[in-house]
C-alpha cells in the first residue's frame, strides 16, 4: 500500500510539497461521534509552527487548517476526514539553485535517483513542512485518546546538543521555546543557540515522548508489536536517526536482574521496558526517545555534486532551523498518538469480547 499512508484501521494519508499549492491529509477510520473542530488541531499546529521563536526558521506560515469532510455539526461521522492547509509564504526564488545541485545530506540526490523528477522548491515533498499534517492528524487521535480513554501523550526535549535536561517538570515544557522540562538549562540553551546561529552551523537533539493511561493489551505481535510500530512511526519523522523504547541502548550493559521490571500487587517496581512487553502494552507509561540529526542546511560551504556529476560548492542561504529537534516535540507526540489510536482500534476489532478477571496493575 501507499508509502504516504500510516496506520491500518486509523489511517493517515498525507500529501503536499513544501512550496506547492497546499498540504493535505485524509484520516480514515476515525470513530464517529467525536467532537472535533479546527481549533482542536490548531493548538498543536501552532506549537509546531515555524517563526515562533528566534531559534526556528523565520518562514511565516499561518498554518491554518480547514476540515473539508468527515465532520458534521461538530462531530465526526466515521467517514474520511479531509484536512487542508494552503501554502502562503512560498518565496520560491530562494530555492532556484538547488534545481541542478544536490545539497549534502538532503534528499535531493536520492529523490533524483528514485523518481527522476523532483519538485526542488524548498525540498518539495521531503521538507519537514509535511509534518504539519501529521500534527493535525495526531491532534484528532490525541483528542479521542484523552476524552474516551483518559490517555495523555506528552513530549519534551531532553537534550540539545551537549546540554541535557536533568529534571522533568512538565509545567516547564511550554514555558520556553525549546520544550525543555528543566528550566535551569534554558539560559544555557539560549546561549548555545545564539552562538550556533552566529557560526552558521546546526546541532542535533533528543526528544522523549511519554504516554500515560494506556491500558494493557495494545500491540499486534509478531511484526506489528507496539514498539515496532512506534519505531516505524518515529523513525519516519524527518531527521530522526535513532529510536529507543524504555531503557533503549542502555540495556546493552544491564543485567537481567536490573532490567526485568518486577511486579507486585501494588504495581510494577520499575519501567525499564518502557511500558511494552512482548510487543504489547503493559499498562505502564509508554516511554520512547528519539535522536534528531543536525539539519544540513548551513551557511557554511560544503562539497557536493550537480546533476551532471560535477563537483560544486554549496552554501544554503534562506530560512532554516538551526536545530530541527526543537520543533519536533509536537510531531513526535502526534506520531505516538496515531500509533496508539490505530492499535486501540485494531485491538478491539479482534479482542472486544475478551474479559479477563486478573486485575490490571496500578501505575506507580
142 assigned binding-site residue: no
Which of 41-49, 166-174, 175-183, 258-266 is the region at the interface with a copy of itself (rule: CB under 8 A)? Answer: 258-266
Q: Could you tell me the three cell numbers for 31?
A: 470513530
- Interface pick for a copy of itself out of 43, 254, 317, 364 (rule CB under 8 A): 254
Q: For a copy of itself, which is the closer residue by CB, 116 or 171? A: 116
* Contact track, a copy of itself, 273-302, x by CB under 8 A: xx-xxxxxxxx-------xxxxxxxx-x-x
Q: Is 49 annotated as a binding residue?
A: no
The answer to whether the CB of 290 falls within 8 A of the CB of 237 is yes
Task: Give residues with Cβ within 8 angstroms of 19, minimum separation 6.
Answer: 87, 90, 91, 92, 95, 119, 121, 122, 124
- C-alpha neighbours within 13 Å on the C-beta side of residue 252: 3
- Considering the rule CB under 8 A, would residue 191 count as an interface residue with a copy of itself? no
Residue 294 marked ligand-binding: yes
Taken in order 160, 234, 15, 79, is the CA torsion positive or negative? negative
Q: Which long-range contacts (CB under 8 A, 24 or more apart) does 176-183 make?
A: 177/52, 177/53, 177/54, 177/55, 177/56, 177/326, 178/55, 178/326, 179/155, 179/207, 179/326, 179/329, 180/156, 181/156, 181/157
| Residue 359 is assigned to a ligand binding site | no
Query: Comparing C-alpha atoms, which of 268, 314, 317 is closest to residue 94?
Result: 317
**CB atoms near residue 331 (< 10 Å):** 30
Scan residues 92-151 and list those touching a copy of itself (CB under 8 A).
102, 104-107, 109-119, 124-126, 130, 148
Nearer to a copy of itself, 114 or 194 (CB): 114
Instruction: Determine if residue 48 is labeled as part of a ligand binding site.
Output: yes
Least separation, in Å, of the C-beta of 42 and a copy of itself? 17
What is the contact mask toward a copy of itself in residues 54 to 73, using x (rule: CB under 8 A)? ------------xxxxx-x-
Nearest approach in angstroms of CB 281 to a copy of itself is: 7
Is 182 a binding residue for a copy of itself by CB under 8 A? The answer is: no
Stretch that binds a copy of itself, among 50-58, 89-97, 174-182, 269-277 (CB under 8 A): 269-277
Can you tell me the distance from the alpha carbon of 238 to that of 241, in angstroms, rounded to the nearest whole number? 9
From 135-143, 165-173, 176-184, 248-256, span contacting a copy of itself (CB under 8 A): 248-256
Cα dist from 180 to 89, 195, 200, 321, 335, whole Å = 29, 19, 23, 17, 19
Identify which range of 44-52, 53-61, 174-182, 240-248 contacts a copy of itself by CB under 8 A: 240-248
47 is in an annotated binding site: no
For residues 204-233, which are near a copy of itself according to CB under 8 A?
204-206, 215-225, 227-233
Would you count residue 198 as binding a copy of itself (CB under 8 A)?
no
Report, in Å, the least distance between residue 353 CB and a copy of itself.
Answer: 6
Residue number with CB closer to a copy of itself (171 or 311): 311
Sign for the CA dihedral angle at 171, 336, 326, 287 comes to positive
- As a whole number of angstroms, the distance between CA 220 and CA 218 comes to 7
CA distance 289 to 209: 6
Closer Cβ to a copy of itself, 3 or 198, answer by number: 3
Amino acid at each position: 500500500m501507499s508509502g504516504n499512508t500510516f496506520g491500518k484501521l486509523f489511517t493517515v494519508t498525507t500529501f503536499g510539497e513544501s512550496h506547492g499549492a497546499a498540504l493535505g491529509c485524509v484520516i480514515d477510520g476515525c470513530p464517529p461521534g467525536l467532537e472535533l473542530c479546527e481549533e482542536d488541531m490548531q493548538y498543536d499546529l501552532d506549537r509546531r509552527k515555524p517563526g515562533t521563536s528566534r531559534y526556528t526558521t523565520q518562514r511565516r506560515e499561518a498554518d491554518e487548517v480547514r476540515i473539508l469532510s468527515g465532520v458534521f455539526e461538530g462531530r465526526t461521522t466515521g467517514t474520511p476526514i479531509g484536512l487542508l492547509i494552503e501554502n502562503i509564504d512560498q518565496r520560491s526564488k530562494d530555492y532556484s539553485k538547488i534545481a541542478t545541485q544536490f545539497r549534502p545530506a538532503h534528499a535531493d540526490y536520492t529523490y533524483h535517483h528514485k523518481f527522476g523528477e523532483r519538485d526542488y522548491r524548498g525540498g518539495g515533498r521531503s521538507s519537514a513542512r509535511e509534518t504539519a499534517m501529521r500534527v493535525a492528524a495526531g491532534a484528532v487521535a490525541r483528542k479521542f485518546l484523552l476524552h474516551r480513554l483518559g490517555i495523555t501523550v506528552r513530549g519534551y526535549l531532553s537534550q540539545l546538543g551537549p546540554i541535557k535536561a536533568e529534571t522533568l517538570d512538565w509545567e516547564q515544557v511550554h514555558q520556553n521555546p525549546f520544550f525543555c522540562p528543566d528550566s535551569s538549562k534554558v539560559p544555557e540553551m539560549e546561549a548555545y543557540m545564539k552562538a550556533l546561529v552566529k557560526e552558521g552551523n546546526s546541532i542535533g537533539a533528543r526528544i522523549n515522548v511519554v504516554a500515560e493511561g494506556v491500558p494493557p493489551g495494545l500491540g499486534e505481535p509478531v511484526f506489528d508489536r507496539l514498539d515496532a510500530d512506534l519505531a516505524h512511526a518515529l523513525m519516519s519523522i524527518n531527521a530522526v536517526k535513532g529510536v529507543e523504547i524504555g531503557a533503549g541502548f542502555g540495556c546493552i550493559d544491564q543485567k537481567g536482574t536490573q532490567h526485568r521490571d518486577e511486579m507486585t500487587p501494588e504495581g510494577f517496581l520499575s519501567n525499564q521496558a518502557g511500558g511494552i512487553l512482548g510487543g504489547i502494552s503493559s499498562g505502564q507509561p509508554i516511554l520512547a526517545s528519539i535522536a534528531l540529526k543536525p539539519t544540513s542546511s548551513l551557511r557554511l560551504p560544503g562539497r557536493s555534486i550537480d546533476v551532471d556529476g560535477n563537483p560544486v560548492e554549496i552554501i544554503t542561504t534562506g530560512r532554516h532551523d538551526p536545530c530541527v529537534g526543537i520543533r519536533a516535540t509536537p510531531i513526535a507526540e502526534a506520531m505516538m498518538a496515531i500509533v496508539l489510536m490505530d492499535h486501540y482500534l485494531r485491538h478491539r476489532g479482534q479482542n472486544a469480547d475478551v474479559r479477563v478477571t486478573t486485575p490490571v496493575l496500578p501505575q506507580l
